[in-house]
């Protein structure tokens, strides 16, 4: 005979809840049988997540954040979405827009991150060493700066709302800023250290290749017959993915020129180059150039660095001449010159001029309170008015295109310093780790951290990067990897765990009167 459940009341309550949930799912799904399976499947998934280490689910979440389409970024320039688009809606869009239930004013990502944080805190409180087993410690300086970033966002929110700010729009301003330190904490609490670097690298390169192939399909199949070049093929924030992957492949090849390194440079890089071209975002080239220029000063002198130095020196007298000739030319050979012009000259096109006006307005806003800013929930001061885009983007003064200057305007020196502290510490740890590391994999990881953060910063300055889900996930992963890599290679001291004091030995029986005499 089978044994009865050890907790019959709990078992009965579970059966009742599953029955009610199944009935509700059938009603919502219009009687479709697949909807009836959703509650049972969801419960099974929750049980698995409750038991297994969170490292695997968080790596899957990282892959989804880099691979899926974000509805707010108009993937495919509004003309094409993949069959995975509904999953991106559930994760990144507010669920009230997906389900039609007005009370669900939060996203699936909110639920996932809050649930993961609860599980991590619960396991720590119960001393369940499920996630931290066989893992490398995180540098002791990472935790405080993550807490500082969280407190900085909370301060900006309270300061702004206290001054009469718009609470609803403040939530849109703060969401990704708050998620960056929270995700970094989750990664550092669940990842093992260098053992997970390969998995993260494969996710990054795989998602970059996926976006490149998807962009090529959209460019050729969807827009090709229309003879139109779209403003972007996939998404704006894919620039961060491309830039980080390109630099990582180049660094990996420089560190070890084996079969994997050559496959990355000769096989994967051309695919990514096509993806960057069809996605038509000029900022990706700025991100790559700035990252490589920074890494140049960290790399030791070897044959590759000497060759690159000679090539740059040979091109120095030619580049100004090329730019001067092609500055006002529309010939295809001078397309790079036009790209440079659109980046550095406000007169290049209307888009660049509009961004210059926005930068000026953000500067004026910052001048009013440079120490603590306006707080969240407030619009920037529009002293100089550009094109009116309020019809299709009514929140443009709450969420400026230059989100880096926007952070300065809304948070001032205090808010910016708090939110930016984890990124600064991560770069510091990565530079130290590169000097201490001996294995090519560790050295590649250290330089990739710097590339990811530089790409994120450039994206924040030029293309709403602080509201970018792929950028936030990559930056959070970079902070986590930096913290563990520094300890793994000896660039930061490992914390000593104090052993519990030995128990005081007590006599088994009370002393006799004779022994006391």
Q: What is the pLDDT of residues 70-96, one digit of tens each?
A: 999 999 988 999 999 999 999 999 888
* CA torsion through residues 100, 106, 107, 108, sign: negative
Distance between CA 152 and CA 412 in Å, rounded? 11
94, β-bridge pairs: 107
Three-state SS string over 330-355 comes to CCHHHHHHHHHHHHHCCCCCHHHHHH
pLDDT value of position 41 = 67
**Three-state DSSP state, 94:** strand
Tens-digit pLDDT string for the chain (517 aa): 455 555 676 667 766 776 777 776 666 555 556 556 666 666 666 767 777 888 999 999 999 999 999 999 999 988 999 999 999 999 999 888 888 878 888 899 999 999 999 999 988 888 877 666 568 999 999 999 999 999 999 999 999 999 999 999 999 999 999 999 999 999 999 999 999 999 999 999 999 999 999 999 999 999 999 998 899 999 999 999 999 999 999 999 999 999 999 999 999 999 999 999 999 998 999 999 999 999 999 988 888 889 888 988 888 888 888 778 777 777 767 777 777 776 666 565 677 788 889 999 999 999 999 999 999 999 999 988 877 777 778 888 999 999 999 999 999 999 999 999 999 999 999 999 999 999 999 999 999 999 999 999 999 998 899 999 999 999 999 999 999 999 999 999 987 655 545 544 445 444 444 444 3
Say if residues 283 and 458 touch (Cβ distance below 8 Å).
yes
Three-state SS string over 447-511 comes to HHHHHHHHHHHHHHHHCCHHHCHHHHHHHHHHHHHHHHHHHHCCCCCCCCCCCCCCCCCCCCCCC
pLDDT value of position 488 = 96
Give the ranges where 258-402 is alpha helix by DSSP (H): 259-263, 269-279, 283-296, 303-315, 318-326, 335-344, 350-368
Angle at 98 between CA 94 and CA 101, to 5 degrees: 85
Q: Where are the domains of the chain?
A: 67-130, 141-488
Distance between CA 86 and CA 278 in Å, rounded? 24
Residue with tokens 């729009």: 169
- Total count of residues recorded for the chain: 517
Distance between CA 465 and CA 497 in Å, rounded? 39
pLDDT digits (tens, 9 = 90+) for 434-468: 999 999 999 999 999 999 999 999 999 988 999 99
Burial of 386 (0-12, 13-18, 19+ CB in 10 A): middle
pLDDT value of position 500 = 46
């Amino acid at each position: 005979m089978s044994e009865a459940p050890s907790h019959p009341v709990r078992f009965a309550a579970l059966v009742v809840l599953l029955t009610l949930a199944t009935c509700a799912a059938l009603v919502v799904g219009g009687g479709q049988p697949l909807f009836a399976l959703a509650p049972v499947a969801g419960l099974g998934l929750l049980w698995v997540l409750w038991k297994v280490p969170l490292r695997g689910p968080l790596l899957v979440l990282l892959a989804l954040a880099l691979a899926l389409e974000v509805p707010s970024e108009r993937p495919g320039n509004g003309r094409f979405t993949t069959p995975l688009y509904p999953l991106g809606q559930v994760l990144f869009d507010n669920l009230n827009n997906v389900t039609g239930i007005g009370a669900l004013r939060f996203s699936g990502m909110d639920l996932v991150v809050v649930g993961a944080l609860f599980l991590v805190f619960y396991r720590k409180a119960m001393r369940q060493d499920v996630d931290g087993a066989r893992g490398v410690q995180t540098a002791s300086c990472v935790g405080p700066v993550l807490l500082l970033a969280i407190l900085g966002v909370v301060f900006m929110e309270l300061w702004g709302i206290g001054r009469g700010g718009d609470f609803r729009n403040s939530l849109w301003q703060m969401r990704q800023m708050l998620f960056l330190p929270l995700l970094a904490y989750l990664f550092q609490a669940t990842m093992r250290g260098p053992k997970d670097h390969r998995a993260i690298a494969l996710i990054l390169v795989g998602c970059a290749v996926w976006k490149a192939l998807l962009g090529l399909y959209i460019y050729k199949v969807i827009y090709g017959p229309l003879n139109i070049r779209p403003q972007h093929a996939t998404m704006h924030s894919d620039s961060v993915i491309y830039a980080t992957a390109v630099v990582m492949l180049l660094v990996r090849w420089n560190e070890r020129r084996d079969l994997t390194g050559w496959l990355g440079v000769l096989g994967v890089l051309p695919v990514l180059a096509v993806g960057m071209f069809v996605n038509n975002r000029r900022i990706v080239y700025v991100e790559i150039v700035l990252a490589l220029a920074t890494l140049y000063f960290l790399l030791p002198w070897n044959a590759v660095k000497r060759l690159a130095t000679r090539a740059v020196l040979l091109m120095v007298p030619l580049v100004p001449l090329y730019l001067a000739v092609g500055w006002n030319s529309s010939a295809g050979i001078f397309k790079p010159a036009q790209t440079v012009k659109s980046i550095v000259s406000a007169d290049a096109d209307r888009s660049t001029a509009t961004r210059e006006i926005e930068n000026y307005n953000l500067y004026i806003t910052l001048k009013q309170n440079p120490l603590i800013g306006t707080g969240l929930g407030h619009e920037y001061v529009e002293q100089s008015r550009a094109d009116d885009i309020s019809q299709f983007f009514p929140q443009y003064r709450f969420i400026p295109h230059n989100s880096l200057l926007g952070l300065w305007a809304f948070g001032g020196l205090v808010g910016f310093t708090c939110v930016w502290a984890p990124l600064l510490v991560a770069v510091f740890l990565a530079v130290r780790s590169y000097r201490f590391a001996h294995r090519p994999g560790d050295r590649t990881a250290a330089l990739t951290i710097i590339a990811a953060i530089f790409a994120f910063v450039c994206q924040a300055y030029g293309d709403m990067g602080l509201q970018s889900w792929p950028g936030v996930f990559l930056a959070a992963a970079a902070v986590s990897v930096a913290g563990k890599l520094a300890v793994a290679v000896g660039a930061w001291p490992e914390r000593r765990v104090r052993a519990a004091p030995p128990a005081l030995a007590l006599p088994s029986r009370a002393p006799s009167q004779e022994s006391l005499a």
